[in-house]
């Protein structure tokens, strides 16, 4: 064999190790792995970092978990424990060691799912996703109800029957989705999103009963976040009364079953609406009766006033006036007559005092000449020998003038 013209690349240890490191770290598969194995050689020095070896019957893998990830572990690690570890493969050049840099560890076998459930629950709880302040009230009379559930299955049928019975005037919008299996979480997330695009007043997330594995999709972080982030309030009705999934915690309201969720979505029912309509009709009638009786009273008072102002009444009134005036005139006349007669009496008395008869009574006489009847008031009017008549108070005397 002829020697090649160019020598093969000469490596240094560092260069070769670096090359291996890059090879492993640029491999996408190796940067996101879940590895199952048994813990051994567990070491937790003061630094807080955790070192262990994951092994099975044929191989071993060195692992390290930095203290920040280790602090979040919801799991007590022990030698001999069967676990699943998530992380990425890297190379520690100094010791020429490839190892798994772990960021998650979960138990395998019995209780593993529960451990995972508790881990996620505490993580999301710390983020505040389950906080009571985030929960919104459910509308009491929705116009449009969105439902995320399997299109087949009893849950949908039961919910539709419940809604039909309680509030048939509501509009139901179904976003069908698988509710278990690996395809469920992304499908559920899409269903929630599609529904929100149609602006329902409330969304029901529902699934019938099952085991913890059956319900597992509703503990998936993606689904829980979609529920928490939904624009419409969410009622979660997953499984039986005693089942609690993380969606139940993230929802605005938890229902023990899908049927209960449909009931909680329809607080006001058809019979409530009918009662309300009857009540409004009664109020309507009552008000119009009030108005009519008001008007009647008003009319009655007007009629009374009118009667008071009638011609008949006025005539009577005028009669009364005339009578009144007559009476006044009469009494005034009477008064005047009385005054006049008093004056007359007065005058009569004065007249009497001045009358010649009164003079005669006092002793004076009226002398008249017999021949011509003229009154003699002076001496020269009578000559001696004339016949005169002397009138005194009670009669006449005949006489003759001597001188």
Partner 1 sequence: MPKSSSKKAEKTVEELTYEEALAELEEIVNSLEGEQNQLEEAIKLFERGQALAARCGVLLEAAELKVKQVVGDVVLPFDEESE
Of residues 160-179, which lie at the interface with partner 1 (CB under 8 A)?
Answer: 160, 163-164, 168-176
Cα dist. 401→77, 188, 380, 389 in Å?
193, 174, 12, 10
The count of residues interacting with partner 1 (CB under 8 A) is 37
Please state the closest distance from residue 310 (CB atom) to partner 1, in A.
25
Residue 90 or 178: which CB sits closer to partner 1? 178
> Contacting partner 1 (CB under 8 A), which of 288, 329, 334, 357?
288
Q: What CA–CA distance (Å, rounded) separates 355 from 347?
A: 12
Please state the closest distance from residue 288 (CB atom) to partner 1, in A.
4
Site string for partner 1, 25-64 (x = CB under 8 A): ----------------------------------------
Stretch that binds partner 1, among 38-46, 125-133, 187-195, 225-233 (CB under 8 A): 187-195
Stretch that binds partner 1, among 27-35, 117-125, 159-167, 309-317 (CB under 8 A): 159-167
> Contacting partner 1 (CB under 8 A), which of 197, 309, 353, 379?
197
Asked if 277 interacts with partner 1 (CB under 8 A), we say yes
Q: Which among 94, 88, 98 has a CA at the least distance from the CA of 60?
A: 98
Cα dist. 132→63, 256, 400 in Å?
40, 18, 160
> Contacting partner 1 (CB under 8 A), which of 295, 338, 387, 400?
295
Asked if 206 interacts with partner 1 (CB under 8 A), we say no
> Contacting partner 1 (CB under 8 A), which of 23, 60, 123, 151?
151
Asked if 198 interacts with partner 1 (CB under 8 A), we say yes
> Contacting partner 1 (CB under 8 A), which of 15, 134, 136, 274?
274
Q: What CA–CA distance (Å, rounded) separates 111 from 124?
A: 20
Please state the closest distance from residue 186 (CB atom) to partner 1, in A.
13
Please state the closest distance from residue 298 (CB atom) to partner 1, in A.
10
The site for partner 1 (CB under 8 A) is made up of 143, 151-152, 157, 160, 163-164, 168-176, 190, 194-195, 197-198, 270, 273-274, 276-278, 280-281, 283-285, 287-288, 291-292, 295
């Amino acid at each position: 064999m002829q020697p090649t013209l160019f020598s093969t690349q000469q490596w240094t240890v560092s260069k070769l190790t670096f090359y291996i490191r890059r090879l492993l770290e640029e491999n996408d598969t190796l940067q996101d792995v879940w590895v199952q194995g048994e813990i051994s050689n567990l070491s937790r020095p003061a630094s807080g970092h955790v070192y262990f070896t994951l092994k099975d019957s044929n191989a071993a893998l060195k692992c390290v978990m930095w203290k920040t990830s280790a602090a979040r572990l919801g799991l007590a690690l022990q030698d001999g424990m069967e676990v699943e570890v998530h992380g990425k493969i890297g190379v520690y050049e100094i010791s020429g060691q490839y190892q798994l840099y772990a960021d998650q560890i979960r138990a395998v076998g019995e209780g593993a799912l529960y451990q995972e459930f508790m881990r996620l629950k505490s993580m999301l709880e710390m983020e505040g996703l389950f906080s009571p302040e985030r929960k919104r009230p459910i509308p009491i009379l929705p116009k449009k109800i969105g439902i995320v559930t399997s299109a087949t299955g009893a849950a949908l049928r039961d919910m539709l029957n419940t809604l039909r019975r309680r509030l048939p005037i509501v509009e139901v919008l179904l976003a069908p989705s698988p509710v278990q299996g690996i395809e469920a979480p992304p499908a559920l997330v899409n269903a929630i999103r599609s529904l929100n695009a149609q602006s329902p007043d409330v969304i029901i997330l529902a699934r019938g009963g099952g085991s913890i594995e059956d319900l597992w999709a509703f503990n998936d972080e993606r689904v829980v976040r979609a529920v928490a982030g939904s624009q419409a309030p969410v009622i979660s009705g997953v499984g039986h009364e005693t089942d609690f999934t993380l969606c139940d915690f993230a929802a605005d309201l938890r229902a023990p079953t899908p049927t209960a969720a449909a009931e909680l979505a329809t607080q006001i029912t058809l019979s409530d609406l009918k009662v309300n309509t009857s009540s409004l009709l009664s109020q309507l009638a009552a008000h119009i009766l009030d108005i009519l009786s008001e008007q009647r009273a008003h009319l009655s008072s007007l009629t009374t006033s009118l009667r008071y102002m009638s011609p008949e009444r006025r005539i009577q009134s005028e009669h009364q006036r005339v009578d009144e005036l007559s009476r006044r005139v009469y009494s005034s006349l009477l008064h005047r007559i009385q005054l006049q007669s008093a004056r007359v009496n007065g005058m009569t008395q004065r007249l009497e005092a001045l009358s010649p008869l009164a003079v005669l009574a006092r002793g004076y006489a009226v002398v008249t000449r017999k021949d011509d009847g003229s009154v003699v008031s002076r001496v020269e009017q009578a000559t001696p020998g004339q016949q005169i008549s002397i009138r005194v108070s009670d009669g006449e005397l005949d006489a003759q003038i001597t001188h």
